Amino acid sequence: MLNTLDIYYRFKTEGQGFINLVCADFYFSCYYIFTMFNIFKNLFSTDSSTSFYSFYKKMVSWRESGVYPFPYNLPSSITFPKEFWKDVLRIYKETDRDGLERAIALFWADGELVLTSVVKGDDQSVRSSHDVRVHYVVHPTRQGYLRRELMIDGKVTKRTDVYYKKAPKKVTVEYLFNMHTHPAQEFNGKKLYGFFSLQDIKSLILSQAVVTGLVTDKLWLLVRTSETPANVKFENFTDADVTIENLKEQFKLGVYEAEFNKEAIKK
């Protein structure tokens, strides 16, 4: 380590070159400290947030390898695109208006999150089955462009123009998960919404699904973890046992809650 006298004599003999060397060494030291700080911050921070699709892709890879994340490894929050909330709000309003349950299926279709059209059930159940496809066809009027058509259940729901060099070589449409709604119940002039049912939890666990969702006057998500039991004696539980605490402690599921148009926060 240089003392003051050493620095003086080296500056006197080496001049500007020594100053440049000292500055470069100082810059490298600061950069190293800053880099190591960020590495340790990312490794041990629990205040993590991620986009939904990035999160789901990780979950898919863990499922394919047979390994799910530990509950404490789940992100603290999940964000969604504006288009997602637009469709969620539409379904919420329709359910609130006529009191009938609805279901939607989420797909990742050629780079965008797609929510299928609403399927109406009766006041006891809800069913959904959808076909989502993306086609690129020759543009009828623009030379050098293709027309991208998003089709849901055989109907074109969205068209966009794409320059032919930017068209993907392979179109990927991937099913993500199902969500459903619960209509409000009137009690003393107030609207009350039901939570997940025991059947919802049973379907999630037995189907090996990664995520399921519920839309009331907010959005709820349940996420499978490495500690979620494969075999559960559901006969020992009732709908009344499906609480946030039991979902976390008994079924070892990640529980997320989101106000409309906001990020989903881990409970």
Q: What is the largest CA-CA distance in the chain?
A: 90
Q: In the structure, what pLDDT confidence band is assigned to residue 104 with cuts at 50, 70 and 90? A: confident
- One-letter amino acid identity for 45? S
Name the token pair of 3.
């003392």
pLDDT digits (tens, 9 = 90+) for 8-33: 445 456 555 545 544 445 444 444 44
Has residue 136 got a pLDDT over 50? yes
Q: In the structure, what pLDDT confidence band is assigned to residue 175 with cuts at 50, 70 and 90? A: confident
Q: In the structure, what pLDDT confidence band is assigned to residue 127 with cuts at 50, 70 and 90? A: low
Report the percentage of the chain scoring pLDDT > 90.
Answer: 46
In this prediction, residue 26 carries a pLDDT of 44
Angle between helices 16-44 and 4-14 (to 10 degrees): 130
Name the token pair of 239.
């709908």
Has residue 36 got a pLDDT over 50? no
Has residue 43 got a pLDDT over 80? no
In this prediction, residue 21 carries a pLDDT of 45
What mean pLDDT do residues 40-56 have? Answer: 64
DSSP state of 155: E
Dist CA 202 CA 156 (whole Å):
35
Task: Give phi and psi for 58, each to the nearest 5.
Answer: -65, -40
Domain residues of the chain, as ranges? 4-44, 49-131+173-266
- One-letter amino acid identity for 2? L
In this prediction, residue 176 carries a pLDDT of 87
Q: Which of 17-31, 86-100, 199-213, 214-228 has the highest mean pLDDT?
A: 214-228
Has residue 173 got a pLDDT over 50? yes
Beta strand extents in the chain (DSSP E only)? 49-51, 77-79, 102-109, 112-115, 119-120, 132-138, 145-152, 155-163, 173-181, 184-187, 190-193, 211-215, 219-223, 254-258, 264-266
The larger pLDDT score, comparing residue 2 to residue 76, is at: 76
pLDDT digits (tens, 9 = 90+) for 144-167: 999 999 998 889 999 999 999 999
Name the token pair of 215.
């839309």
